[in-house]
Amino acid sequence: MGLFNTKNKAAGKPDGRVEGIAKVTGAGKYAAEYKVDNMCHAVFAGSTIAAGTIKSIYLDNAKQVEGVLDIITHLNKPAVPGFASETKLKETRFGLPLFHTDKVYFRNQPVAMVVADTLENATYAASLIEFTYQEDTPTVDFKKAHPSVPLKMQGKERGSLDAWSNAPQVVDQQYDIAAEVHNPMEMHATIAHWTADDKLVLYDKTQGVVNVQRTIAKIFEIPQENIEVFSEFVGGGFGSGLRVWTNGVGAVMAAKAVKRPVKLMLTRSQMFSLTGYRPAAWQRVKLGADNDGKFLGIHHQGKNGTSVFEPFQEGITSITRMVYNFDNLKAEQSIVPLNLGTPTWMRGPGDCTGAFAVECAIDELSYQLNMDPVALRLKNFAITHDPENKKPYSSNFIDECITKGAEMIDWKQRKQQPGALTEGDWKIGYGVAVGMWGAGRGNASAGITMEKDGTMTVKTAMTDIGTGTGTAMQNMTHTFTGMPKDKIKIALGHSTLPTAGSQGGSTGLSSISGAVSAVCDALKKQLADYAAAINPAYKDAKPADVLLSATGVSLKTDKNEFVSLADIWQKNNLTDISVKASSGPGAERQQYAFCCSTAHFVKVRVNTKTGKVKVERAICVADGGTIVNEKPAANQISGAIVGGIGMALMEEIHADEKLGNLVGNDLAGYHFAVNADAPIIEVAFINKPDPYVNPSGAKGLGEVGIIGCAPAIANAIYNATGKRLRDLPITPDKVL
């Protein structure tokens, strides 16, 4: 994995990542790695039942352990204002009233927290706490629980189901997806430190420092500006860092209680229960078409698991409304409470789940019609307009993605007849599916500080979770100003930097590119004003006319009018130049619909004796607008496909039905795709700028890479074997 093979020449030449050296040498600090004087450690003791009530807690043995500073339970907790009532808890949007209830909602729920001088002492003491419970029967099996939960209308019915009740071609099938976890390499951890003047400093593993500020401010009822959050380097997120979890709240409580800085790092197995997951889902898709393959209507039903204390609904049916022209559409959804932690957004949330059912159902229809599934999709894509709101798409190249992907995999080699290609014990099949995601954009700010030697630091509070945002910011700053890249430094992930939203929902680059463009203009304007004191040609110069270099500024005129930075600094008596600017979506959002898309093509081999599925080729053609930097962009997609292979073939969190505990909740026990399970992933980009999305023309790529990957694999397995498998993961036992 990790290699990319693209025939398109991207706008930005592939560069190494700005944070690459810091990350691989260990110089870049993750949340748990900061050193704070006098820091101690907090460790959670988790419930050993999955449902019930705490009856008694015996702390004496734990208290004897050397170095123990405090033990917090629901009986002695320092009251947290945001957990004082149901209403307040709802407002915090935190969900779990940590140590403010005697109720146990899921196994491994934090029910006590030991604070001690060392991690070892805290861990040992936590193991000595004894609880007695009044135990209830937990519900953890989604497949058993969901049939009794009724569906509700989701959005408006489009047209009418009656209109296609006599469709000559109908597919009506049910699809299941097991719950799966993000588990990024970096552990979820928080260091909390109250300063002498009652300010709170947090080093947190998060995808959004401003979200952490806001959430902690709400829970503890302290002014947001009194909280400073660092998340300068992030070792992966996949959505698990989009919320504040118990480690954040626990660390703040502990630091307050012992009046010392506290580090709280979850263990790997705690991360399986306490930092969200993609919930299990059930879907039913009823798809109607005429005999030529024109879609007449779709009825999409979906349910997903959630926790018993917090409703989390996936947007399972959203994608159904975007990709194809369905004149008639009905969507229904509901959620199924389970005695598990709360699920959360995980890469391609909702759409990834929905696309599995819809893209498999379309594949099933293609065999029923005896029609090429590429041709069937091309016939039904909604290219020009969003079929839901009828707005024109700002740009939509899903048709080009699928056409190019078909060429790359040499789709002609595929046989329409399943099971027709064999090599010894292996059956060979080809599969296709597509993905789509709304190309969103949020408000963001950026700043630039420029030194006399031309060094520019471009800053924003936005994090870079490994997506290459910082590298893209460097590329864009170079493009917008002309300054050589080695003079452009990047500062990210700190709440005192110019404010920006979380890196999530594939909005990071899209949002930040507007801010970078605006701040580059502000800098050029500022430099032109200073230069005007030396050379009047700069008076009233527009940012677009100004060009920077490592030594000075010039105008895009015949005469060039070069003014050196040294002169600018001297004449204006400067120490440095600092500018800031903000940018966000505008009226274009009312006028246009925005999307990014992918087409996935895979070739699989299925062993007829062992049931093993090998993904032999994986091709993804993506429309992400302008590709600002090809290398991290292709890394994004290839990483997503490794995740998609895991989703299709391996990943599944199991909860023991009687005890409610997760089985195999570590990186040895949880089966996920590694390099050996993935071929060299071939990624190509359409690389055409979106004219309206933002000044860079780049649309997000983070989510859409995984959407459509799992159904492409399932469809290829059918093409290889003639066995239609509708229950992920498709493990060998199901294949045989």
Binding residues for ligand MOS, rule: CB under 6 A, are 207, 237-239, 242, 345-347, 349, 504-505, 702-703
Residue of 588, 627, 593 whose CA lies nearest to 396? 593
Instruction: Indicate the residue among 682 and 703 with the shorter CB distance to ligand MOS.
Output: 703
Closest CB 508 distance from ligand MOS, rounded Å: 9
**Is the peptide bond prior to 585 cis by the omega test (within 30 degrees of 0)?**
no
Instruction: Indicate the residue among 387 and 504 with the shorter CB distance to ligand MOS.
Output: 504
Instruction: Indicate the residue among 345 and 718 with the shorter CB distance to ligand MOS.
Output: 345
Q: What type of residue is 12?
A: G
Instruction: Indicate the residue among 505 and 514 with the shorter CB distance to ligand MOS.
Output: 505
Closest CB 624 distance from ligand MOS, rounded Å: 15
CA atoms within 13 A on the CB side of 127: 7
Q: In this structure, what DSSP letter does residue 10 have?
A: P
Closest CB 304 distance from ligand MOS, rounded Å: 14
Instruction: Indicate the residue among 238 and 569 with the shorter CB distance to ligand MOS.
Output: 238
Mark 657-671 as b/e (b = at least 16 C-beta within 10 Å): eeebbbeebeeeebb
Instruction: Indicate the residue among 171 and 229 with the shorter CB distance to ligand MOS.
Output: 229
Instruction: Indicate the residue among 371 and 704 with the shorter CB distance to ligand MOS.
Output: 704
Closest CB 349 distance from ligand MOS, rounded Å: 5
Give the β-pairing of 456-459 and 488-491.
parallel
Instruction: Indicate the residue among 142 and 277 with the shorter CB distance to ligand MOS.
Output: 277
Place of tokens 């709802």: 90
Q: What type of residue is 211?
A: N
Closest CB 240 distance from ligand MOS, rounded Å: 8
Query: CB of 466 within 8 A of CB of 498?
Result: no
Q: How many helices (H) and strands (E) does the chain have?
A: 18, 30
CA atoms within 13 A on the CB side of 727: 7
Cα(46)–Cα(56) distance, integer angstroms: 14
- Beta-bridged to residue 204, according to DSSP, are 190
Instruction: Indicate the residue among 238 and 356 with the shorter CB distance to ligand MOS.
Output: 238
Query: CB of 483 within 8 A of CB of 477?
Result: yes
Instruction: Indicate the residue among 239 and 697 with the shorter CB distance to ligand MOS.
Output: 239
Closest CB 502 distance from ligand MOS, rounded Å: 8
Instruction: Indicate the residue among 220 and 345 with the shorter CB distance to ligand MOS.
Output: 345
Query: CB of 647 within 8 A of CB of 728?
Result: yes
Give the β-pairing of 328-338 and 103-104.
unpaired
- Beta-bridged to residue 491, according to DSSP, are 459
What kind and span of H or E run contains 256? helix 246-258
Residue of 76, 180, 230, 233 whose CA lies nearest to 728? 180
What kind and span of H or E run contains 685? strand 681-685
Query: CB of 584 within 8 A of CB of 442?
Result: yes
Instruction: Indicate the residue among 93 and 100 with the shorter CB distance to ligand MOS.
Output: 93
Closest CB 207 distance from ligand MOS, rounded Å: 6
Residue of 337, 349, 358 whose CA lies nearest to 284? 358
**Is the peptide bond prior to 78 cis by the omega test (within 30 degrees of 0)?**
no
333: tokens are: 């959804």
Query: CB of 283 within 8 A of CB of 354?
Result: yes
Instruction: Indicate the residue among 332 and 351 with the shorter CB distance to ligand MOS.
Output: 351
3-state DSSP assignment of residue 138: coil
Closest CB 241 distance from ligand MOS, rounded Å: 7
Closest CB 317 distance from ligand MOS, rounded Å: 18
Closest CB 465 distance from ligand MOS, rounded Å: 7
364: tokens are: 């099933």
Closest CB 596 distance from ligand MOS, rounded Å: 13
**Rounded to 5 degrees, what are φ and ψ at 677?**
-90, -5
Cα(214)–Cα(203) distance, integer angstroms: 15
Distances (CA, A) of 136 to 106, 316, 338, 410, 660: 11, 31, 13, 57, 11
Closest CB 347 distance from ligand MOS, rounded Å: 5
Instruction: Indicate the residue among 237 and 697 with the shorter CB distance to ligand MOS.
Output: 237
Closest CB 279 distance from ligand MOS, rounded Å: 13
Closest CB 469 distance from ligand MOS, rounded Å: 12
Instruction: Indicate the residue among 99 and 437 with the shorter CB distance to ligand MOS.
Output: 437
Dihedral angle of Cα 694, 696, 702, 708, to the nearest 10 degrees: 80
> Which residue's CB atom is positioned nearest to ligand MOS?
239
Cα(491)–Cα(468) distance, integer angstroms: 13
Cα(100)–Cα(78) distance, integer angstroms: 9
Closest CB 703 distance from ligand MOS, rounded Å: 6
